[in-house]
Structure formats: structure tokens, C-alpha cells
Chains A and B, each alone.
Chain A
Amino acid sequence: MGMSQPASPTRDDLDLVFGLDSVGATAEARARTSNRLFGRGQDHLGLYREGMPARALTAWEAYRTFGFELLREAVVDEPAVITTDASEPARTLRYRRRSLGLELDDLARLTDLPVEILQRAENERQGSSIRDLEHIAQALGLDERLLALQPGAGGDERLGVRLRQLAGVDSNHLTPRAVVRFAECAWVIAAQTRLTRLVGASSAALARFSPDERYGDWRRPAWELGFELARKTRKLLGLSASDPIPSMRDLCERGLGVPLVQVDLPKTLAGATIDTLTDDDRARGIVVNIEGANQSEWVRRMTIAHELGHLLWDPEDKLHRLSVDAYDDIERDAENRRDPVEQRANAFAVEFLAPTAAVRQLFEGYRDRPEVGLRAVMVRFGISRTAARFHVENAYKRALQLQPVEALVAAAPTDEWKARESFGLDWFKPESVPPQRRGRFAGLVVAAERQGLLSEDSACSYLAVSPADYRAHWRTIQSLYGA
């Protein structure tokens, strides 16, 4: 990313741009160790001075985004001009909003910005505050760093098309609110992927998986393949063949390095997978609704496992940049689903969370008290009552009918499961951070800021909080969710 680099800046140039306190022989090394702050406005880059309205960037952030030559110009001939085309960033913001099928009023409501601010941002004859522009860009799933620098601002065009397509096909589900939420989730997933790499917290686990194009036929149905892939996944991750998964949240984010974004969506939607791009690299993540049935941690685990089945095993063309699942799709018996892609993901989810052999072994001890056995399966493996019933029945090849006793079984998850799965959400401070930016994402932001790679101003922008809130809580975030 950024401008083309000169072969090798002289030592004097490096001193000039990064200051005498920075060390190293290369621009990259000097940028990483520099204490200097740069400031960016909509169209300009200069040195940052306390109290300026410009966005403060560390030397590293500025160097990565703009390249050495522009930084040199920012110091020598302050300010340097960032904008390569005067119609930017207005044109990109206008185009992106329209391509997502959003009206100005929708976006104003969903970003809490006045319509006049949005109109100004989309008018190339008017200047805007960089903070407003960044806020809008993040909501539209654009890379705010590239505003005015690159037409399109790193927005994934195909994701935009997919969102528009889904909004058109089923406008009952993908309301403007859902479109903006998914676009922002794509931004979180891209940013989290970059931050993970930046602070050296990447996991190699994801690289062990390659897509499986088998979705079954009359001899080998999709649900059987889902079971097979669930067993294979446990093996690849070094998990036992029969133990419960203590935290799906932890397994995704720490074990696999897959961003898990928890967000408020319309109540009918369960979750989604997003497969997008950042810095020309693939960024894949899972989105989970915190509204509706997912308020039960056990249903949420099933949703996450279902989306993980898509993300790990579906070929890129099946992920479609964004695949959305409704609750009706997930809380259903895998064997009775028609769409083999969803059937396989459903079977994967339940078998991954609760391996059939282990379920049967547990339930065997309760054959004379099936309602107690059903609850025991739910509590042991952390799955919902509906999922447990289908799974036990299938484990006994349907020779057992549990529907008559289902109503006798309490559906609520235990406190232990609630604590494990809701840890990143319910107790998060500061509360001003929106749900979709809490948990591991916040931990990575703080890690990058403490390593001097992100400015405090950038950390606040990433978390959408005030500096006062950030200063009061970064230590807690670091200790609970740090890299």
C-alpha cells in the first residue's frame, strides 16, 4: 500500500522525517521507533501539533499508508497534498452509499450524523472534517486510511454488490440497518485481520484447512459429509474426539485467528460469514447476531459453529463474500434440509459441538429418564434443546422419539456457559464501545496502541470512543482481551 518508495532514503532524510530519536537503517525500522506524530486532514498531511483538529497518526501508520516520499513532503513543505483527484473522497463515498442501496436519510440515522454532514462529504466542492469522513467510511465498509488517496478507498466492490443483491432479493431481512451493520462488520473483520498481523498475533491454524467441494449425493448425503468434516476439524485443531468445546468465541478468535463480530441485527437473522479483502489479502470472519434466539449462548454456539463450517470448508464461490443465515436455517434438523450447502453446515455444527459417539455414551445412562438425559447432553456440550433433541434422535437412528419429553426440559443455558461465551460482550467497558467493536478486536487495538503502532487518536477512532473513555479503560481491555 502507499506511494512508491525511493530505493533508499539517506540518513539525513530519515532523521528529518522520523526524528533523531528513532533508530534503524531503513525507513520501516525508523518509522516503527519514531515518536513523531503526523496529522491528516481530508486532503493534507503534516506534522501533528497538540490541539489540532487533524487526525493524529503515528509515524508508522503514516508511513504504511502514505509512503516515505509523502511523509518527507509533509515535513519539508508542510502540508503535503494527499488527494490525487479533487473529486475524491466525495465520489467514493457517494458511489459506495448508492451501491449499497442506501438513501442519505438511512445513512444519517444509522451513523448518528446529520444529513448536512453526509451531503457535504459527498460534495467535491466542499471540504469535510476527516473525523466525519472516517466515521462514514467505516460504516460503509471502506478503508478509511485510503480516503482521498485511492479511488474506491479499498472497498470490496463484490461485497457491495452482494449486499445490494441480498437487500433486493429479500428486503424483509436485509433492511438498510442490516446492510450498514454488515458493511461495518466487514470493516471490523478487515481491520482485525490487519491488527492481528501487525501485533504478531497471527495463528497458523487456518492455513491447515482447504475447501472441500463435496456436498453429497444419494449415496452419501451432505449431512454425513458435515459429520466427517467436523471430526476432521477437531483433528486438525488438536482437539479431543469427544470433549465439549469450552468456548466457541475463544476457539474462533484465539485458536483459529478468525474474527468473530457480535452485533445487533434484525431478529430473524442468526449470523453470516464475510470473506473480504484488506491490503490485497483475504480477510474472513464470522458475524453473529446478539438479538433474537442467539441471546441464548447455546443457540449462539450453534450459530457460530454453523458459520465456521461455511468459513472453513466452503469454496470461495459458495461464500459469496457474504452469506447470511436466518434462525430458521440453523435450528433445524440437518437431515431434513434441502439445500446441501446448509445441510452440510448444520450437520458440521452439531457434530463439532457434540460428537455423536460421546452424546450416545452420555445419553445411554439416562434411557429410563430421557428428559434428564436430554438436559445432560445440553449442559455437557453446550447446545440448545432443539439441537440436542434432533442430535440424540439421530444418534439412535430415529428409534427414539424425544418430542413428548422436550417440554419438560429447561432450555436456559447454565451460568458457566453464559460466562464463557458472553465474556467479550456483557462485561465490556467502556460501554460506549459498540458491540461489534468489543472483545478481541478491542484487545488488538489496545495492543497496537501500546506498541506505539497506532496513535491513541486512531485507537479511539477504531473503538468509536472518546479519549477520556479510552484512557479510563485501556488497561482493563488489555488485561481481559489483550493479544
Chain B
Amino acid sequence: MKNATTLYLSGASGRYTPRSAQGLDEAAKAFRAAGYRVGSLGWDDGYPRKIMREDDVRWA
């Protein structure tokens, strides 16, 4: 989380890794619906990003 209302979402959770960009977007939408401003870190050649590249963050 960046602050109380903004969070960055990475698909790199060891337990619940999304299998596709769509899966990550779905998760982002869920947090958005809960009132957060959500930025998704996106993908690195097929792997969910753990390293953030600021300009590539996609805001839900």
C-alpha cells in the first residue's frame, strides 16, 4: 500500500498468483470497488511484476 487510499497490486503473490493479465485486472477491479485507488504493476514478458516501473503502472 502506498497510503490509506492507494495501493499497488502485483500479481506475484506466492499463494494466489493470477494466471493472466485478465486475472490481475479482475483483482484490481475488486479493490477499486472497495474504494481504493489501485495501480497494477503489470507483467514482465509473461511474469507478474514484482519490480515496479512507474510509467507502466496501470490504474484501475
Interchain CB contact (< 8 A) of A123 among B42, B50, B55: B55
Decide: B12 and A126 in contact? CB cutoff 8 A: no
Chain A 33-69 near chain B by CB (<8 Å), digits 1 or 0? 0000001111110100100111100000000000000
Chain A 74-107 near chain B by CB (<8 Å), digits 1 or 0? 0011110101001000000000000000000000
Residues of B contacting A52 in the complex (Cβ-Cβ under 8 angstroms)? 45-46
Interchain CB contact (< 8 A) of B44 among A43, A49, A78, A124: A43
- Please, how many angstroms separate the alpha-carbon atoms of A129 and B42 in the complex? 13
- Please, how many angstroms separate the alpha-carbon atoms of A40 and B52 in the complex? 16
Decide: A79 and B12 in contact? CB cutoff 8 A: yes
| Closest A residue to B46 using CB positions | A52
Decide: A77 and B14 in contact? CB cutoff 8 A: yes
- Please, how many angstroms separate the alpha-carbon atoms of A470 and B39 in the complex? 41
Residues of A contacting B47 in the complex (Cβ-Cβ under 8 angstroms)? 39, 41, 44, 46, 54, 78-79
- Please, how many angstroms separate the alpha-carbon atoms of A144 and B43 in the complex? 21
Chain A: how many interface residues by the 8 Å CB criterion?
Answer: 26
| Closest A residue to B42 using CB positions | A127
Decide: A126 and B45 in contact? CB cutoff 8 A: no
What's the minimum C-beta distance from B27 to chain A, rounded to whole angstroms?
17
Decide: A124 and B53 in contact? CB cutoff 8 A: yes
- Please, how many angstroms separate the alpha-carbon atoms of A39 and B47 in the complex? 9
What's the minimum C-beta distance from B59 to chain A, rounded to whole angstroms?
15
A130 CB–B CB distance under 8 Å:
yes
Decide: A44 and B56 in contact? CB cutoff 8 A: no
Residues of B contacting A77 in the complex (Cβ-Cβ under 8 angstroms)? 14
Decide: A125 and B53 in contact? CB cutoff 8 A: yes
- Please, how many angstroms separate the alpha-carbon atoms of A77 and B50 in the complex? 11
Residues of A contacting B52 in the complex (Cβ-Cβ under 8 angstroms)? 86
Chain A 109-128 near chain B by CB (<8 Å), digits 1 or 0? 00000000000000111110
For A40, A86, A127, A129, the residue with the greatest tally of chain B CB atoms inside 10 Å of its CB is A127
Residues of A contacting B54 in the complex (Cβ-Cβ under 8 angstroms)? 125
Decide: B45 and A129 in contact? CB cutoff 8 A: yes
List A251-310 residues whose CB lies under 8 Å from chain B.
none
B51 CB–A CB distance under 8 Å:
yes
| Closest B residue to A82 using CB positions | B51
Decide: B17 and A126 in contact? CB cutoff 8 A: no
Residues of B contacting A76 in the complex (Cβ-Cβ under 8 angstroms)? 14
| Closest B residue to A120 using CB positions | B55
- Please, how many angstroms separate the alpha-carbon atoms of A126 and B57 in the complex? 9
Residues of B contacting A49 in the complex (Cβ-Cβ under 8 angstroms)? 46
Residues of A contacting B42 in the complex (Cβ-Cβ under 8 angstroms)? 127
Interchain CB contact (< 8 A) of B51 among A55, A78, A81: A81
- Please, how many angstroms separate the alpha-carbon atoms of A69 and B22 in the complex? 31
Given contacts A77-B14, A79-B12, contact A55 B53 (CB under 8 A): no
Residues of A contacting B29 in the complex (Cβ-Cβ under 8 angstroms)? none
Interchain CB contact (< 8 A) of A41 among B14, B17, B46, B55: B46
Decide: B53 and A127 in contact? CB cutoff 8 A: yes
B37 CB–A CB distance under 8 Å:
no
- Please, how many angstroms separate the alpha-carbon atoms of A49 and B45 in the complex? 11
Chain B 1-39 near chain A by CB (<8 Å), digits 1 or 0? 000000000001010010000000000000000000000
Residues of A contacting B50 in the complex (Cβ-Cβ under 8 angstroms)? 43-44, 79, 81
Decide: A39 and B55 in contact? CB cutoff 8 A: no
| Closest B residue to A44 using CB positions | B47
For the complex of A and B, 8 pairs with smallest distance between CB atoms:
A41-B45, A41-B44, A52-B46, A79-B47, A54-B45, A125-B55, A43-B51, A127-B53
15 contacts across the A-B interface (CB closer than 8 A): A39-B47, A40-B45, A41-B47, A42-B44, A44-B47, A44-B50, A53-B45, A54-B45, A55-B45, A78-B14, A81-B50, A81-B51, A123-B55, A125-B53, A125-B55
* Chain A residues near B (Cβ < 8 Å): 39-44, 46, 49, 52-55, 76-79, 81, 83, 86, 123-127, 129-130
- With A40-B45, A41-B44, A79-B47 known, 14 other A-B pairs at CB within 8 A are A44-B44, A54-B45, A78-B17, A79-B44, A79-B50, A83-B51, A86-B51, A86-B52, A124-B53, A125-B53, A125-B55, A127-B56, A129-B45, A130-B45
* Chain B residues near A (Cβ < 8 Å): 12, 14, 17, 42, 44-56
